[in-house]
Structure 1
């Protein structure tokens, strides 16, 4: 597992990631159980840290062995835990059962809520960007905390969101749609898988949902399609992102690596990011301006291609193990 932090070219206000950090217990056919640190938001924080960004993670983990494993994993890649993220409780787990193609199906033992200390610490210092998603934005009581925090921070930071839905933990799709729509509307960039949108809106194609979301607030909505690559949607059009072909070890964390690399490239380009004053609105306006025509500019083409490469590199190795900047530029 990589422990290098990556480059340090992205100095500035930190990225705040809010969401679950847990241990993925991976079961393979006729093989032993394996344990790896995971959780979709934690994986995104890890990916951003390895790409050289200062990152803070607001989460909930225990003081047990699994919690120690997760903390060591995150801190080794430059992720700082928000004060109050470690509590006297068990660390959550997700059991991923891999099929013959390496595709994971999950069951969960998870509790999600930010401590009072962590909620208070979210107000500390200026931020460049906020990312959230998955269980943290769907499972109570913490999901309400996350949505409220996004509304509070949006004037001073840009926002990205990945639904990364886990139906085993959720109510019906009909009951989940309102919250997901609220999160999409407050976000600047949204990434969602084909499976997410097929479950959430079974009466329409994932492309129809992505196109509608792109007209509801975000400047960019990216629909990931597994081995078929991805498709980017914006108010005035769509564009395919070609897949990068690798020998798949497993797909754990691939979407999170895609999200981290995309956010990284957009931050470096000044199309995401905030801080005191009007910086967030400046970046937000620049991202919307970049998606005003029927074709994406080269800077967004490059960002999406790099994100696809990051996802492929993660698929080629075991567990949620996103690449560093050096690996992405080989």
Structure 2
């Protein structure tokens, strides 16, 4: 593999189209947790490339254009599937939804472009075979300074809980930082409380673990410090993309300062991430914030007038 110095982060994982079918019509949106993280990084001004799997079809072009508009490079190795993966939500008149997944994640060789600094992976791409083994091999071979992981558990597409936990724990031994939601933690470790999950994951080798808790904020921890972060008060439209926004912000912070060795910096990381997520939940869909918006949110938090 060759290194292209203008790529700070390589994101690896699924891209798909979320198709929402309701009695009033059908809408389509670009989705996939790793794809959202790449989108968020691009909007924050981070030079980011996405290694995913798309079809040579309308949906594949839709994904690529959506990412291009947010300054994300989609690697050429991405266009490999007969058709782009989809997740269809059939929403009845009473609001009840039935989900139908058509997701393919094949094995793949290492790309010929790698980041100079960081790799991120997670979600379906880290668990669905045969591609999940390719992801782990790429992580093991990576010379990146920072590797991050968000399991973003999707039970309907997971192997058994025990098998998924083995994959999670194997991946966690390779990475520097793990971000998970409280729902991920409860699904993977149903017999452990939140603090015990953090301790268990840190014992696997990551230097930093963050657990998001929706409207209750987040907990972010290293071996030496644990900080609870309060979420800003915001009018929630929906929570789509909130965790991915948190992850993108956390990666940006890690690129800037590395793993924090003091409580203050750890708190700054967490507060930046929950502020960014608050922007996303205040509007519809996975509309992650741009750098100008996160800067304005920081100034407002510090009570500095914004022009």
TM over 0.5: yes
Aligned to 1:279: none
Whether the 8 Å CA contact 1:197–1:206 is kept in 2: the answer is: yes
Q: Are residues 1:298 and 2:264 paired? A: yes
Shift of 1:33: 3.2
Q: Are residues 1:187 and 2:153 paired? A: no
CA RMSD, Structure 1 to Structure 2 (Å): 2.3
In the superposition, relative to structure 1, how do residues 107 and 256 fare at CA in structure 2: closer, same or farther (>3 Å)?
farther
Aligned to 2:11: 17
Whether the 8 Å CA contact 1:58–1:114 is kept in 2: the answer is: no
Deviation per CA, 1:79-104: give whole Å up to 9, x if none.
111122012511111235789xx9x9
Q: Are residues 1:36 and 2:29 paired? A: yes
Distance 2:291 2:128 in 1: 33
Aligned to 1:5: none
Q: How many residues align?
A: 290
Shift of 1:177: 1.2
Q: Are residues 1:172 and 2:175 paired? A: no
Aligned to 1:83: 76
Bigger fraction of residues in strand:
2
* SS in structure 2 at match of 1:112: coil
Distance 1:223 1:200 in 2: 13
Q: Are residues 1:150 and 2:143 paired? A: no
Distance 2:125 2:115 in 1: 22
Higher relative contact order (CA 8 A, sep 6+): 1
* SS in structure 2 at match of 1:310: helix
What residue ranges of structure 2 are gaps of 5+ in the alignment? Answer: 297-307
Shift of 1:105: 8.7
Distance 1:225 1:172 in 2: 24
* SS in structure 2 at match of 1:249: coil
Q: Following superposition, which runs of at least 4 residues in structure 1 exceed 4 angstroms of deviation?
A: 96-99, 104-107
What residue ranges of structure 1 are gaps of 5+ in the alignment? Answer: 1-10, 272-286
Shift of 1:72: 0.6
Aligned to 1:312: 278
Shift of 1:12: 4.6
In the superposition, relative to structure 1, how do residues 106 and 197 fare at CA in structure 2: closer, same or farther (>3 Å)?
farther
Distance 1:84 1:172 in 2: 30
Q: Are residues 1:74 and 2:67 paired? A: yes
Aligned to 1:141: 130
Whether the 8 Å CA contact 1:60–1:114 is kept in 2: the answer is: no
Deviation per CA, 1:127-148: give whole Å up to 9, x if none.
2100000000000000000001
Whether the 8 Å CA contact 1:27–1:98 is kept in 2: the answer is: yes
